[in-house]
Each structure stands twice: as C-alpha cells, then as structure tokens.
C-alpha cells in the first residue's frame, strides 16, 4: 500500500490550493474527491480581488464570465448603485473554475482518486483514510470537504443551526427576463428577503446566478423565500433548477486542527459572515496549512509547537477580518429597520463599503467610519 506525505480530502479551491503548494515543495500528495471533475457546484461564483491575488497563477480569460466593478444594493426603502474604478471581483462558473484549479495541482504531480473518504483512523504514525473500496495512508491530512462532512468530527464538533447558513441558487438564462439583459459589470444584492442574509443576482455572461442565503436558525423557509424572490424579480420558479448548500457562519471560534489533521476553507468555518465570501479564505487557508506542513517536513519537526502555527497564522491573516465582519453583520441584522436599511440606503455608506472589497480599508476601519457618521445617517 502506497503512503503519501499528505492526503487532501476535497478538490475545491481550499484543497487544490493546498495540494498545489505541497507538491511544488516536493512532497507526495494525494487528493481524494468524491466525484470526477468537472462537477456542478451551487455557488454565486464571485471571486474577490483578494481571492485572485492569493492564487499562484493567473485565471484564464476564458474562465471569466463577467467582471464586477460595483453593486446595486436594494433594501425595502431604496435602491443604491455604486460603481468603482476597481475590479472588485470576477464571476466564474464553479464547475469550470474548480476543475481548472485541480488541473493545475495535477500538473504539479499531485495524484487524485475519485472516491469518497468515509473514515480516518490514526495508527503507527500514519493516518489511514478509508473509502468504500480502498485504504490510503498519509503522514498528514487536510480536510477540505465543506461544512457538512462528518470527517470534521475528527477535529471538532459539527456546527449547530446558529453557526450555519443555507443558500439556494439557480442558473437562469439571461434572456428570460429583459430587465436583466443589460446587467453587466455589477452585481445586485437584495436585503430583507432572507433571515440574516440577502438575495443576489450575479451576471455570468449568458446566464444569471440567482439565489438567497441566510442563517439557518432564523431563515426558516428558504424554498418559499426563493420562490418569492424569483417571482418578485420576474423569473419563473422551476424547482428542478434550484440547488442548495450549507455554509458556515464565519467569525465564530472553532478548532481547526488536531495533531496532523487540518481543517481548511468551509470545513474550518472560514466564510465572511456578512457577504458569505468563502473562496478567497478557502484558497488562503489551504496555503497556510500547506506552508505549515512543508516546514514540518523540512525541519523533521511535527511537534505541537510547530503545527500550531497553522492556527496562529490563520488567526493573524483571517481571524481579525472575520471577527469585525461578524460584529458588523450582527449589528446591522439585529436592527434592520434602524441600521441595515439606513446604512445600505445611503450612497456614501455603500460607496465606502466597496472599499473593503477592493482592500483599501478593513472592516475595522469601516465600522469606525460608520459610528462617526451614524447620527447623520439616522437623521437622513
């Protein structure tokens, strides 16, 4: 039975980013993915500026469905459009994007098998990963499965309803609704349609990604919300086209490593809690896990002291953003009429918020700015 330096479970952006760096450093790497790629992935498909910057290589132009330079923010009170000179994000099909990332990892010498990992056991200095058909051995394991896999329990407990979000998404032909034929270079966000979340319309060239997402504990009837949202926008609701997935609410303290087992991306809870942005943090957490493991092999040091650098570095690079974003999200959604609708109906507030996306300011900077302007915002 062949053993590997590292096994990566899951071939999304977190897993493939980790595998790419590990193989580039000369380690033997196995990716286990439950289905052959390309495969469908329900997602709005927005990759922020930071997500693009983290990648070790450029994204081919033929994978870019659209570019985003601004947003149209809708609340029950108003509709505000903000356009910037910065490319805030690109829109991609996750099916094609994820497949491309996997190809880049395979080109580095990563091995891949398409089997679902069922169980992980530790024995004699190796982790034994069991599928229905086979067993694989690895010195370290990166779990990049998303939030619903029971493999997470090898590191920590699974999340409860207050710690999870649910999203429903559909891909709709852009010609189905004349109102959206000219939706280019901006995304559309609708607050007030999902508990502690929002609805969205993202342009992807010849189709639109339309969806709703909110926190599970307060977003009680997502299917009904999706139906009402699509109907309100003038789209035909077809249940067969609707796909759903769970995401974690970021900013909550979670265990992300136990021994040589590393949780990355959604499995680690690294999703921005206000926007639901997860791809950038998936890529970066995968890279941080890989860098930690590379140092362990280089120094022949798999001590707790060295491996704990993963949590420390994630906290330094990701934790602060998540914490302030969670505070901002709670503040606005707890008082939707007083704060969320007022702030997101204010042109200056929306313009300033987009500076977070372009990385000109942080959430901490934005919150300080908001509090200074709050009396004038509320009166206005």
Write out pLDDT tens, residues 135-186.
999 999 999 999 989 999 999 999 999 999 999 999 999 888 778 877 889 9
Cis, peptide link before residue 38, omega less than 30° from 0: yes
Write out pLDDT tens, residues 241-282.
999 999 999 999 999 999 999 999 999 999 999 999 999 999
Check if the beta carbon of residue 312 is closer than 8 Å to that of residue 281: no
Dist CA 282 CA 267 (whole Å): 9
Residue 312: pLDDT band (50, 70, 90) is: very high
Place of tokens 């607050």: 191
Dist CA 42 CA 122 (whole Å): 33
DSSP 8-class letter at 266: G
Looking at residue 196, its pLDDT comes to 92
Write out pLDDT tens, residues 98-144.
999 999 999 999 999 999 999 999 998 999 999 999 999 999 999 99
Residue 202: alpha-carbon gap to chain centroid = 16
When mean pLDDT is compared across 176-185, 322-331, 347-356, the lowest value belongs to 176-185
DSSP 8-class letter at 219: -
At residue 217, does pLDDT exceed 70?
yes
Residue 2: pLDDT band (50, 70, 90) is: confident
Dist CA 150 CA 42 (whole Å): 20
By CB atoms closer than 10 A (0-12, 13-18, 19+), residue 234 is exposed
Class of the domain covering 3-63+92-158+254-325 = alpha beta
Check if the beta carbon of residue 67 is closer than 8 Å to that of residue 91: yes
Do domains 3-63+92-158+254-325 and 161-248 share one topology? The answer is: no
**pTM for this model (two decimals):** 0.95
Per the DSSP assignment, residues forming a β-bridge with 172 are 208
Mean pLDDT of 311-317: 97
Q: Where are the alpha helices (DSSP H) in 187-303?
A: 222-233, 279-299
Q: Is 277 helix (H, G, I), strand (E, B) or coil?
A: coil
Dist CA 288 CA 148 (whole Å): 22
Residue 352: alpha-carbon gap to chain centroid = 23
At residue 366, does pLDDT exceed 90?
yes
Residue 97: closest CA among 143, 146, 51: 51
Residue 380: pLDDT band (50, 70, 90) is: low
CATH topology of domain 161-248: D-Amino Acid Oxidase; Chain A, domain 2 (3.30.9)
Mean pLDDT of 2-25: 97
Cross-sheet strand order for the sheet of 186-191: 79-83, 70-74, 186-191, 198-203, 207-215, 164-173, 243-248
Dist CA 293 CA 306 (whole Å): 9
Give the DSSP H or E segment for 140.
Answer: strand 135-143
Residue 77: pLDDT band (50, 70, 90) is: confident
Q: How much of the chain, in percent, has pLDDT values that exceed 90?
A: 89
Q: What separation in angstroms does the CA of 58 have from each of 2, 21, 62, 108?
A: 33, 15, 12, 16
Pairing, β 207-215 against β 243-248: unpaired
Looking at residue 338, its pLDDT comes to 87
Check if the beta carbon of residue 201 is closer than 8 Å to that of residue 183: yes
Dist CA 321 CA 332 (whole Å): 17
Check if the beta carbon of residue 179 is closer than 8 Å to that of residue 20: no
Length of the chain: 380
Residue 350: alpha-carbon gap to chain centroid = 22
Q: Which residues contact 297 (CB under 8 A, 6 or more apart)?
A: 5, 25, 27
Dihedral of CA atoms 232, 233, 239, 240 in degrees, nearest 10, equals: 170
Backbone dihedral angles phi then psi of residue 222, each to the nearest 5 degrees = -60, -35
Dist CA 22 CA 298 (whole Å): 12
Dist CA 333 CA 200 (whole Å): 17
Write out pLDDT tens, residues 80-92.
999 999 999 999 9
* Domains of the chain by residue range: 3-63+92-158+254-325, 161-248, 335-379
Check if the beta carbon of residue 87 is closer than 8 Å to that of residue 49: yes
Q: Is 137 helix (H, G, I), strand (E, B) or coil?
A: strand
Q: Is 67 helix (H, G, I), strand (E, B) or coil?
A: strand
């Amino acid at each position: 039975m062949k053993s590997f330096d590292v096994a990566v479970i899951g071939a999304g952006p977190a897993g493939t980013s980790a595998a790419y760096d590990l193989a580039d450093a000369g380690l033997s790497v196995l990716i286990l993915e439950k289905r052959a790629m390309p495969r469908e992935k329900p997602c709005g498909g927005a990759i922020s500026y930071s997500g693009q910057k983290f990648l070790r290589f450029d994204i081919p132009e033929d994978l870019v469905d659209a570019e985003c330079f601004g947003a149209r923010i809708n609340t029950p009170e108003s509709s505000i459009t903000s356009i910037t000179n910065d490319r805030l994000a690109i829109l991609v099909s996750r099916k094609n994007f994820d497949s491309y990332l996997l190809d880049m990892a395979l080109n580095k010498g990563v091995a891949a098998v398409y089997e679902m990992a069922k169980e992980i056991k530790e024995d004699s200095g190796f982790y034994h990963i069991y599928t229905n058909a086979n067993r694989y051995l690895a010195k370290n394991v990166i779990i990049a499965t998303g939030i619903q896999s029971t493999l997470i329990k090898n590191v920590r407990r699974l999340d409860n309803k207050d710690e999870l979000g649910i999203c429903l998404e559909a891909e709709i032909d852009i010609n189905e609704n004349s109102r959206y034929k000219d939706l280019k270079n901006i995304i559309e966000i609708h607050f007030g349609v999902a508990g502690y979340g929002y609805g969205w319309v993202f342009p992807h060239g010849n189709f639109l990604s339309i969806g709703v997402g909110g926190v599970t504990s307060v977003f009680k009837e997502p299917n009904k919300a999706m139906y009402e949202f699509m109907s309100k926008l003038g789209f035909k609701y077809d249940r067969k086209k609707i796909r759903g997935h769970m995401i974690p609410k970021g900013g909550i303290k979670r265990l992300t490593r136990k021994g040589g087992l590393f949780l990355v991306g959604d499995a680690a809870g690294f999703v921005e809690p206000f926007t639901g942005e997860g791809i950038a943090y998936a890529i970066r957490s995968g890279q941080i896990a890989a860098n930690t493991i590379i140092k362990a092999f280089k120094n022949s040091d798999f001590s707790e002291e060295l491996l704990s650098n993963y949590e420390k570095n994630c906290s330094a690079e990701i934790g602060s953003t998540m914490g302030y974003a969670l505070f901002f999200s709670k503040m606005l959604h707890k008082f939707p009429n007083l704060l969320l609708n007022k702030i997101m109906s204010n042109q200056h507030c929306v313009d300033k918020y987009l500076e977070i996306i372009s990385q000109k300011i942080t959430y901490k900077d934005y919150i300080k700015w908001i509090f200074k302007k709050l009396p004038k915002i509320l009166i206005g």
